[in-house]
Structure 1
């Protein structure tokens, strides 16, 4: 378990440190452009200064979402409600066979339709969307699962 955690955290830590370095470097260049006094350089400098701000926001949002998803994954695992895909046929790439992923999705969708306000069903549906290759709906449904779980945890459901 410890080794698996290191395999995940090491690259994330490296990327975060590299991005912070890049944001500082970009910010420094933006300040230099603004200080130059030239109208065009000031405009460009302001634009360059906005890039690290947007980058920090994206980095924060991505890390926060990842931690929230991991929290739900731990809870689902502890409750024994993970989707079992071990026996499903796979393509040579390792991804689930399309027909198998679609069948899994239909099964999980029926569970979700029976109780759409249960975060566990939304989590499972998000994973089924992911296995079926629909990343956009998987993200939207996972956001819903995170919100429903937060409400449950805080008693505001």
Structure 2
């Protein structure tokens, strides 16, 4: 719950930032000076790119969380990996189990469930880049199946 609260707080701060920067951009453009106009346009465009990137990340988080919840409801979330005393997953154990999830995704390349489990295994093993790629693939497959 604290993660969602943090995301909402950051979104509110971003909205405030956009309002203030937008106002400053309008002021720059209103001067009529060529350099100020360029700065004003940049102040309008760059935050919009940031908003797009943040929206994309939030949408990824929401969609992946929904898939994890669906898989858990179906009873297909069988990632029982040993944890260390710190509470973190033992990476060597995760890597040992990883082969099973990779083989499952290879055997069923059109199964979003297999790709999601593979992504969760990558994440447990500490490979965030591949985890995101596998989860994105799971999201695409789920969308295509609907």
Structure 1 residues without counterparts, runs of 5 or longer = 1-5
Cα separation, 1, equivalents of 2:83 and 2:5? 32
1:79 aligns with 2:74: yes
Q: TM-score, normalised by structure 1?
A: 0.84
For 1:112, the equivalent position in structure 2 comes to: 105
What corresponds to 2:142 in structure 1?
A: 149
Q: Deviations over 1:54-74 (max 9, x none)?
A: 122112212211111111011
Instruction: Specify every segment of 5 or more residues in structure 2 that has no aligned partner in the other structure, as ranges.
Output: none
TM-score after normalising by structure 2: 0.90
Cα distance in 2 for partners of 1:84, 1:63 equals 24
Aligned ranges 1:56-95 → 2 under 5 Å: 56-85=51-80, 88-90=82-84, 92=86, 94-95=87-88
Q: Could you tell me which of 42, 50, 54 is aligned with 1:47?
A: 42
Residue number among 122, 126, 129 corresponding to 1:136 in the alignment: 129
SS at match of 1:84: coil
- CA-based RMSD of the aligned residues comes to 1.6
Partner of residue 26, structure 1: 21
How far has the Cα of 1:84 moved from its partner?
2.7
Please say if 1:125 is aligned against 2:118: yes
